[in-house]
């Protein structure tokens, strides 16, 4: 029995390479494998080309003990996984009469006429173990070789998930001596990836178990701690020790753990301290306002259809740069009433990320005498605006409020 096997996932389908669909299957399988203690070091995507699929499987068998293919098990001419696995493992395809009868029964149960091309689904590599598929018509299988095991699953997400949980994970747990892999994510805000990397230091970042990795988002950075051990309790203890070391270095930037969101943390902070903020959004509606509630929003908060409306309302000359306009408005809102912070977002709704515009969007946050601002070259027409701007805004607001109120950094 092999200890600590590695796995590689191969997603098959030209539609993946064309960007027509997103490969969520590999992500799901990787997480399932992680949870039973199997390391995944490589994910490969390959189109519907027999030789390239064969090459991908052959390469994977050189660097992993468990290969899981996903997709290419249907009845059409571009479904080549069966032949590719057979070729890569040096076997012939063999017709399975009992499997063909099962497929026919499945179609009959669905009330659908089975076409002649479905017969090819009953061909499997010699000596393959059949994985029965009660939720679909594509038979799956396992091929065991001296180099490793190849497990082929259908690409339909519902079928793949069912077979992964009902057949593949139990098979792997029985076949291999697996440990437990536990992961925990510390959520940080108000610091960039390079600065966070520097504060954590190479000593922690270079250790092998637990491992520590960074994943940057727009305005926040995740610090992932992953430990592998024989039992869950041991893995958790290992993670706790690393988290304590990280908190000594970057604790003031950590706003949450695992599923906690920046929106929830900011809202909780505002409610805890009974704070109200003013928000003005022009050209990018509900970027920030939709993430808060009426109790934390100051009465002046509102949404305008276009930045020019903000210029007019606050009587600011149109020649003033977008960022400077936002700063003036933020100062105006902050000083006007009983508000703990003001946020101003100005974004040209007709501009996308391909436009050559230096200031198409801007956000300013005011909590004291000094505003903090950010400008972007894309406007409200870009999907990036709805992601980048509110995330930077909420993370910056959280840091600025922490600097002012009782849990001071």
**Cα(393)–Cα(342) distance, rounded to whole angstroms?**
11
More confidently predicted of 256 and 104: 256
Burial of 84 (0-12, 13-18, 19+ CB in 10 A): buried
Q: Token digits for 134? A: 């009660």
CATH number, domain 6-175: 3.40.980.10
CA angle 297, 302, 307 (to 5 degrees): 135
The count of other CB atoms within 10 Å of the CB of residue 3 is: 9
DSSP annotation of 115 reads P
* CATH class of the domain defined by 180-260: alpha beta
282: left (phi over 0), alpha (psi -120 to 50) or beta: beta
pLDDT, tens digit (0-9, with 9 covering 90-100), for 312-367: 999 999 999 999 999 999 998 888 767 888 999 999 999 887 777 789 999 999 98
CB 75 within 8 A of CB 120: yes
CATH number, domain 263-404: 3.90.950.20
pTM score of the predicted model: 0.63
pLDDT, tens digit (0-9, with 9 covering 90-100), for 46-96: 999 999 999 999 999 999 999 999 998 877 667 789 999 999 999 998 887
CATH 3.30.70.2860 in the chain, residues?
A: 180-260
CB 173 within 8 A of CB 37: no
With cut-offs at 50, 70 and 90, classify the pLDDT of residue 180. confident
Q: What is the mean pLDDT of residues 24-37?
A: 88
Mean pLDDT, the chain, whole residue set: 86
CATH 3.40.980.10 in the chain, residues?
A: 6-175
CATH 3.90.950.20 in the chain, residues?
A: 263-404
**Buried-exposed string 227-247: b where 16+ CB fall within 10 A, e elsewhere:** bbbeeeeebeebbeebbebbe
DSSP annotation of 128 reads P
């Amino acid at each position: 029995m092999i200890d600590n096997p590695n796995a590689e996932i191969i997603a098959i389908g030209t539609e993946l390479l064309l960007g027509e669909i997103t490969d969520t299957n590999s992500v799901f399988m990787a997480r399932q494998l992680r949870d039973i203690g199997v390391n995944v070091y490589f994910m490969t995507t390959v189109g519907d080309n027999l030789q390239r699929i064969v090459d991908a499987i052959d390469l994977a068998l050189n660097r992993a003990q468990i290969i899981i293919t996903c997709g290419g098990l249907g009845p059409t001419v571009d479904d080549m996984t069966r032949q590719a696995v057979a070729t890569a493992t040096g076997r012939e395809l063999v017709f399975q009469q009992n499997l063909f009868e099962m497929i026919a029964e499945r179609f009959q149960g669905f009330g659908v006429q089975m076409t002649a091309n479905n017969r090819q689904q009953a061909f499997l590599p010699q000596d393959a173990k059949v994985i029965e598929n009660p939720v679909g018509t594509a038979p799956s299988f396992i091929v065991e070789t001296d180099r490793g095991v190849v497990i082929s699953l259908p690409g339909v997400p519902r079928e793949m998930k069912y077979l992964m949980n009902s057949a593949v994970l139990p098979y792997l747990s029985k076949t291999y001596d697996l440990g437990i892999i536990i992961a925990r994510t510390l959520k940080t805000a108000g610091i960039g990836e390079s600065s966070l990397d520097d504060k954590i230091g190479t000593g922690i970042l270079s250790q092998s178990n637990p491992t520590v990795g960074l994943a940057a988002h727009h305005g926040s950075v995740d610090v992932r701690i992953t430990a592998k051990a024989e039992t869950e309790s041991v893995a958790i203890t290992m993670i706790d020790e690393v988290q304590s070391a990280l908190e000594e270095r970057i604790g003031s930037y950590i706003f949450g753990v695992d599923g906690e969101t920046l929106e929830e943390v900011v809202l909780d902070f505002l409610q805890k301290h009974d704070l109200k903020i003013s928000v003005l959004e022009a050209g990018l509606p509900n970027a920030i306002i939709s993430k808060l509630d009426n109790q934390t929003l100051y009465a002046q908060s509102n949404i305008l259809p276009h930045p020019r409306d903000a210029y007019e309302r606050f009587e600011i000359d149109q020649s003033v740069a977008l960022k400077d306009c936002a700063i003036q408005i933020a100062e105006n809102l902050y000083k006007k009433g009983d508000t703990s912070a003001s946020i101003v977002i100005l974004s040209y709704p007709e501009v996308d990320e391909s436009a050559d515009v230096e200031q198409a969007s801007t956000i300013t946050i005011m909590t004291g005498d000094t505003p903090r601002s950010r400008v972007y070259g894309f406007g409200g027409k870009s999907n990036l605006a709805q992601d980048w701007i509110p995330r930077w805004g909420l993370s910056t607001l959280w840091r600025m409020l922490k600097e002012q109120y009782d849990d001071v950094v």
